[in-house]
Amino acid sequence: METKNKTFLVAGGMGFLGSSLAKRLLKNQAKVIATYHTKKPNYFHENLTWVEADLIQQHVCLSVTKEVDYVFMAAANTAGAAVIVNSPLCQVTPNVIMNASMLEAAYANKVKKFVFISSGAAYPDLGKKSLVEEDMFIGEPPAVYYAVAWMKRYAEILCRTYAEKISNPMATLVIRPSNVYGPGDKFDPQKSHVTAALIRKVIERLHPFPVWGTGQDVRDLIYIEDFLDGVLAAFDYDVPFFTVNIASGKGYSIKQILDTALEVDGYKEAVVTYDSTKPQTIGYRTIDATLAKNVLGFEAKTSLEDGIKETIFWYKQTFLPNQNRA
C-alpha cells in the first residue's frame, strides 16, 4: 500500500480500531489527521495532527475533511452486550448522523475514497451458516442487534449510493469486521466486548469467575494486526465500490476463548460459573473470509493462543507496569 505523502483522516482516532489504524498508517509514512471527542489523545507522532471534533455537527465534518485524500470512518458510539440489550437506541441516532454527515462532507471536499467500518453484527441470523457478503440484506437482523444493525446497513447503502448512484461518484469501501480483539481494545467493564472482558477477568484473578451465558456461544475472532492487514489490502483494491468481510473465518466458543486465556496466563485455580440469566446476544456467528482470500490474497495468520498472549502482555504493560510478573 502506497501511503507516503498521502493524507488520511481517521475519524475516531482514540477508539480501538481507529487508533490501531492511525498507528499503522503512521508506520507506513502516511500523514494522518485523527479526530477525537471525549477521550483525550494519548499517542503522538510528527506526522499526526489531532483535531477535537463533534462529528454530529455538519460544519465540523466539512472542516475535518478539507484537503484530505482518504477518509477512514472509525468513529462510532459502541457498547457491550448489556447496553445493547437494555438501551438499543443508544447507538442509533448519533451514529446515523455521524455517518451521513461524514459521507456528505467527504463528497463535498472531493475525497478520493471513503472507508466505512461496518459490522458483522448487521448480518441476519442464518443459524450455523458461515456468513458471506451476499447474505447481509436477505433477512432481518437478530432482534438483539436490530437497531444497531439497521444503522450499519443504512450507512452501507449510503456508501453504495455515493459510489454508484450519483454523478461524479466518490469511491467507497465497506469493511465488515468479525470480532476484533488485541492490544488497545476496550477493557472498561461497561463497554468491553466479550473477549476483552474475559481477558481482564483472567488477569484480575476473579474468584469465583462469573461468565455471562452458557459458554457455548460461538464467535469469529480476528486479531487486530491481522484485521489491519485485511483493511489495507481491501483499501488497495482499486474499484469504485467494494464490500468485504475481514475475519478469521473460524468460530470459537466463549468457553474455548476463556480456557485459552486461563491457560496462557496460568490461572489454573479459576472457579468458572456460567450465568444464563445475564444479557446475551446471539448463539452462533461466524463470518466467511473467502472473498478476502480470493480477491485480496488476505488470510488471518495469528492463532487464538498467540493473539491472547500478546493482548495479556500489552494489558499488563499498560495497566499493571509495576507488578512483578514471571
Could you say which of 3.40.50.720, 3.40.50.1220, 3.30.1330.10, 3.90.550.10 is the CATH number of the domain covering 7-182+221-248+287-301? 3.40.50.720
Rg (CA), the chain: 19
Q: Is the predicted pLDDT of residue 117 greater than 90, yes or no? A: yes
Q: Determine the Cα–Cα distance for residues 201 and 210; give it in Å rounded to an integer.
A: 9
Residue 173, φ and ψ in degrees, nearest 5: -135, 130
Encode pLDDT of 213-229 as tens digits: 899 999 999 999 999 99
- Choose among 116, 109, 200: nearest CA to 153: 116
Q: Determine the Cα–Cα distance for residues 302 and 138; give it in Å rounded to an integer.
A: 32
Cell reading at 247 = 475475519
Between 212 and 112, the higher pLDDT residue: 112
Query: In DSSP terms, which residues pair with 35 in a beta bridge?
Result: 51
Given a contact cutoff of 8 angstroms between Cβ atoms, the answer to whether 106 and 66 are in contact is no
**Which secondary-structure segment (H or E) carries 128?**
none
pLDDT at residue 91, as a whole number: 76
Q: Determine the Cα–Cα distance for residues 203 and 112; give it in Å rounded to an integer.
A: 44
pLDDT at residue 323, as a whole number: 72
| Torsion from C-alpha of 23, 28, 30, 35, nearest 10 degrees | -10
pTM beyond 0.85, yes or no: yes
Q: pLDDT-based confidence at 1, cuts 50/70/90?
A: low
Bond into 208 cis (ω within 30): yes
Q: Is the predicted pLDDT of residue 326 greater than 50, yes or no? A: no
Domain boundaries, the chain: 7-182+221-248+287-301
How far is residue 31 CA from its own chain's centroid?
Answer: 22
**Which secondary-structure segment (H or E) carries 223?**
strand 218-223
Query: In DSSP terms, which residues pair with 71 in a beta bridge?
Result: 9, 114
Encode pLDDT of 55-68 as tens digits: 999 999 999 999 99
pLDDT at residue 277, as a whole number: 84
Share of the chain above pLDDT 70, in %: 95
Between 235 and 191, the higher pLDDT residue: 235
Q: pLDDT-based confidence at 79, cuts 50/70/90?
A: low
Q: Determine the Cα–Cα distance for residues 249 and 13; give it in Å rounded to an integer.
A: 27
Bond into 210 cis (ω within 30): no
Per DSSP, 158 falls in state: H
